[in-house]
Structure 1
Amino acid sequence: MALSCSTDTLAVPQLFGGKILSFEANLVEKYNATAYSQLYYGHSTVTAKNLDFCNVTVTYTHPGQNDTINVETWLPIDNYNGRLHAVGGGGWIAGRYSPSYTAMSGAVSEGYATSTTDAGLYEQADMKPDSWALTSEGNPNLYLLNNFGSVSLEDQAIITKALISSFYGQAPRYSYWSGCSQGGRQGMMLAQRYPEAYDGIHACAPAIFWTQLLSTTFWPQLMMIVMDYYPLPCELNAIVMAAVDACDELDGIVDGIISNDEACTFDPLSVVGTSFTCSDTGSNMTISTEAAKLAKMTWAGPRSEAGKFMWYGPNVGSQLTGSTSTLTNDIGLAMTSCSSDGKCVGVPVGLGEVWIKYWVEANPDWSYENMTRAEFEHYVHASIQRFDSLIATNDADLTDYYKRGGKILGYHGMNDQIIPVKSTEHYYNMVKEFIPAADQFYRMFEVPGLLHCSGGPGGQPSNTFDALRAWVENGTVPESLPHSYTDDDGKEQNRLLCPYPKKSKIIHGARAVNGTYQSDDFVCI
């Protein structure tokens, strides 16, 4: 029977606690797009050519909450594989923006029905929450934060599955979620709070500890304020290079990547006074004590004035600065912007200071310029105390998801400069303590050299989603994953990715052929 892309033949989805406001179906014909692997997480780059699909948008509200939420679903006409591949958002956006559509283009080209939600958040051209964060001065928009944090995710699953059942005449055989960063956090929320929503969850570099993460990303900027020192980017880059030089070979291979982070004891203060040529100015400089302290404190993570641990920092050798663009693989927590005369100012990444402004302080006029360490400690505590239950995904009790047979698989870059990989390790250890058999349903693969979600010298995995699908559908346990990438010299390199806490080790006696190793030269230990 021919599929009909029409609201006349599609059943209006039913949503408990929600009211459908509008329901549109439009046939998209001869659709062409390229889904690059950088945003089609866990997949290779794919190209959609001359595809036909039914684009259904459901607009609804939660009566009494003054919200308007849109769920957009793409239903392939000719090549449907019987599966749902829902996608997440990034940063302050739940979905329905360019990266979501890139991932959806990849999914629909491979035969998946796919969907995304905007969680009822207003349009954000600059990807910041200024337009929706407050209902009025002093009053955070808790309804929208709740939608963003959790509620819209279950709604999306219910609406999308109802549309699939109506359009194809049967429910999807398997349902998957995929996302990175915010999308990873969304995936973990689904596993913790809505375990029946998806059979498999592909959660990469997840912002699990949202309230700790966002409030503490400001730590390096605070240290610049306290020291009254704002380094040129080249000075921090010189320290990063020194760290890589010191710790690269600890894994047995010199490849410009720190893989054995546990053995890396590099201290930035050890290179104070070292000369380097600054790419920003073309002049010779020496590494200052202040820049070394900043790098050391950034990588160590925030500490209270009394020296107590507050949260994790990026791994030693991770990128500290960047281009001040919105690209997540080219920013750092210690970014500065410098004028032609060499004077620099701090540039926050748009996470910590925004979170404090709109939620902790709830004051659009609040400014971070004169923040003290005591205030910083207060903001971190208040962030956790007030908002953990709304948006954090640090509940280690995944019993319901485990019992229903769900699987979680993702990757996290060891050079992630925004969401410390140690925070994901910490969460996995929490789950393992709560459920000793955690590795039977939850595996996280660490990727040496990978930045936040994509980018960096270690390459981005392109097989993790298929590994999740094989685990869910065939019971194929992902004990390790071969990983190929192109290095800075244009050579294809091969490594072996291992599920945490295992580490990839080169087999004794393995030799590179023409500068290239093979994945079977490594073993997970």
Structure 2
Amino acid sequence: MAKLSGFIFAVASLSIPAFASQACTSIYNLTVPGAEVLNITSVLQSNVSTPAFPPGPTEGGLSFCDVTVVLTHPGENDTVTTEVWLPLTGWNGRFQATGGGGFLSGIGPAELGPAIVQGYAAASTDGGNIGLGIGINPAAFTSDGPLPGIMADYIYRSVHDMAVIGKAVTASYYGKAPNYSYWNGCSTGGRQGLQAAQAYPDDFDGIMAACPAINLAEALIAIEWPYIVMNNDKTAPSQCVFNAFLNASIAQCDELDGVKDGLISNVTGCAFDPYQLVGTQVLCDGTNVTISEAVATVYRKILDGPKSPSGDSLWPGLYVGVRTDDLYPGDAHTVTTNGTTVAVPFPVGDEWVTYFLERNSSFDTHSITYADVPELFAESVSSYGNDSSNNPNLSPFQKAGGKLIVWHGLSDNLLPPAGTLRYRQKVEELLGGTDAVNDFWRLFFVPGVSHCGGGYGPVPTDALAAVVAWVENGTAPDTLPAEYVNYSGATVNHDICKYPLVSRYDGKGDPKVASSYTCAESFEPAS
């Protein structure tokens, strides 16, 4: 390895053009306002394979310049690492910053690989490592809670630094600045994108923010709520029993949108009553299980969301039609072993209570009572409400010419979609109503889809492409193309309509074809 001015450069023994090597190893003069750059490492990579996120086909045979920048913010005692991948050939002239999940600020290769395959220069950040995997990093916490510098990195600062670094490294490598810069993320990544629009409106020309974990202080109590319910009611339904409620709700509400397709599109119009299943039997692992009133009560409370003991709603719950046994176990996760079922908390909600609110790594979340919930909710909002990425004033982003697409699965099993709707409504109240906000932000609610994908509904196939078309060509999307494989194994194409419109079946076409649907103001079937 060569060393120059305190920076380390490594060049792998690869069969690649000399100019690529020279361009990669010349990236060393970098300034990040408000931060001190500690180290820059540049490595030429060849024939690399990466996973994809959400899980999908592996990206293989990748060659790129891999630049890692380590920095700190003076006085903050933090260390933040940003990685930038630069395709050796076929750069599309764009920069893409990618997001994280849970307490992880960036997912790294699983998102960088797909981005450079499409020709983007792409970046990911560890956000100072408040998280390890999806859960927290205990080293980032003291008895007073999260270290202030690391909390700032996680909420807002590391994304801005990544934008500065990514654009500068891209310009250094290719000899010109990117023509356009984009954000692409889901869950925490969705929150980070909206936070960037709120705090740094000039960082990105376009933002794709799916299933955003905004309203952080409120939403994380909502994530913990099903675990609290099952513990307090001493009733944990098996996933098989949960599926009985799912199937019954689909049977009742599937055709509210005018077509029988196995989806609940009209979730707010679905008056499903879980108590109607009391006394019925469901076959689970070869045994007939009778659904009790206690089980129906648990299901009702999960849909209702966190409440005070007096019944006051604190935050919305999950929508009817949620799939609890999805690829990513959600809020209402249970595990059955030898006939005994226990509730399993989702780590993000559980660790939020343990480390952020109780500030005690030994705290037993199993002991939380219904009476404790309002106090926990109030503490969460009081301590972290300003860190919840839900500032409705998007006017600076609008004035900067930025474009934003948000989609959220109506069957999200982690983050209540109603939280995203509440945020949208606040933005509309502030900025002049639905049409005014639609000029720069299009929102899409997707039936049957779980958190960031999965579930049993049509997942948007390339929402970022819609952002790019809007930014670069002025093509504002009225629909998002989406696709899934239904229960019979058939591929279904379905366009998702922009909020507040809904998809309405034309009454005669093939329900598996997108052209059989139109966007309408209500779910009333076509005459």
TM-score by length of structure 1 reads 0.91
Match of 1:375? 372
Partners of 2:322 and 2:131 in 1: how far apart? 32
The letter of the residue matching 1:464 is A
Match of 1:27? 44
Q: 2:517 aligns with which of 506, 511, 522?
A: 522
Partners of 1:285 and 1:32 in 2: how far apart? 46
Partners of 1:122 and 1:397 in 2: how far apart? 27
Equivalences for residues 418-457 of structure 1 within 5 A = 418-436=414-432, 437-457=436-456
Partners of 1:128 and 1:415 in 2: how far apart? 23
Partners of 1:31 and 1:365 in 2: how far apart? 41
Q: 2:227 aligns with which of 221, 230, 238?
A: 221
Match of 1:105? 113
**Does structure 1 conserve the Cα–Cα contact (< 8 Å) formed by 2:130 and 2:137?**
no
**Does structure 1 conserve the Cα–Cα contact (< 8 Å) formed by 2:28 and 2:40?**
no
User: What is the number of residues matched between the two proteins?
Assistant: 500
Q: Does residue 301 in structure 1 map to residue 296 in structure 2?
A: no
TM-aligned CA distance change 1:388 to 1:380, over 3 Å: same
User: Partner of 1:332: helix, strand, or coil?
Assistant: coil
**Does structure 2 conserve the Cα–Cα contact (< 8 Å) formed by 1:138 and 1:363?**
no
TM-aligned CA distance change 1:123 to 1:305, over 3 Å: closer
Deviations 1:459-503 (A, max 9, x none): 321121111100000000101233232212221112221111111
User: Partner of 1:334: helix, strand, or coil?
Assistant: coil
Partners of 1:397 and 1:305 in 2: how far apart? 34
Match of 1:203? 209
Instruction: Return the offset for 1:137.
Output: 2.4
Instruction: Return the offset for 1:146.
Output: 1.1
Match of 1:337? 335
Partners of 1:228 and 1:52 in 2: how far apart? 54
**Structure with the larger RCO, 1 or 2 (CA within 8 Å, 6+ apart):** 1
User: Partner of 2:299: helix, strand, or coil?
Assistant: helix
**Structure 1 residue runs of 4 or more that deviate by more than 6 Å after TM superposition:** none
Q: 2:124 aligns with which of 95, 116, 124?
A: 116
**Does structure 1 conserve the Cα–Cα contact (< 8 Å) formed by 2:171 and 2:178?**
yes
Q: 1:187 aligns with which of 183, 187, 193?
A: 193
Partners of 1:13 and 1:155 in 2: how far apart? 12
Deviations 1:143-179 (A, max 9, x none): 2111101111111101111111111111110000000
Q: 1:153 aligns with which of 159, 162, 179?
A: 159
Partners of 2:456 and 2:194 in 1: how far apart? 27
Match of 1:325? none
User: Partner of 2:373: helix, strand, or coil?
Assistant: helix
Deviations 1:424-455 (A, max 9, x none): 11111111111121000001111111110011
**Does structure 2 conserve the Cα–Cα contact (< 8 Å) formed by 1:5 and 1:54?**
no
Match of 1:166? 172
TM-aligned CA distance change 1:177 to 1:249, over 3 Å: same
The letter of the residue matching 2:101 is G
The letter of the residue matching 1:9 is S
Partners of 1:181 and 1:16 in 2: how far apart? 28
Q: 1:291 aligns with which of 295, 308, 324?
A: 295
Partners of 2:29 and 2:485 in 1: how far apart? 48
**Does structure 2 conserve the Cα–Cα contact (< 8 Å) formed by 1:12 and 1:23?**
no
Instruction: Return the offset for 1:285.
Output: 1.6
Partners of 2:127 and 2:397 in 1: how far apart? 23
Deviations 1:303-322 (A, max 9, x none): 111221110111112123x3
User: Partner of 2:124: helix, strand, or coil?
Assistant: strand
Cα root mean square deviation, aligned: 1.9
Unaligned runs of 5+ residues in structure 2 are 1-17, 521-527
Deviations 1:225-254 (A, max 9, x none): 222222222222211211111111211222
The letter of the residue matching 1:496 is D
Instruction: Return the offset for 1:457.
Output: 1.2
Instruction: Return the offset for 1:330.
Output: 3.3
Q: Does residue 402 in structure 1 map to residue 398 in structure 2?
A: yes
**Does structure 1 conserve the Cα–Cα contact (< 8 Å) formed by 2:51 and 2:109?**
no
* Higher alpha-carbon deviation: 27-36 or 9-18: 27-36
Partners of 1:455 and 1:245 in 2: how far apart? 20
Partners of 1:392 and 1:411 in 2: how far apart? 19
Instruction: Return the offset for 1:51.
Output: 3.5
The percentage of aligned residue pairs carrying the same residue is 36
The letter of the residue matching 1:372 is T
Instruction: Return the offset for 1:122.
Output: 6.2
User: Partner of 1:15: helix, strand, or coil?
Assistant: coil
Q: Does residue 359 in structure 1 map to residue 366 in structure 2?
A: no
Match of 1:473? 472
Partners of 2:344 and 2:173 in 1: how far apart? 48
Partners of 1:131 and 1:294 in 2: how far apart? 32
Q: Does residue 60 in structure 1 map to residue 60 in structure 2?
A: no
TM-aligned CA distance change 1:214 to 1:524, over 3 Å: same
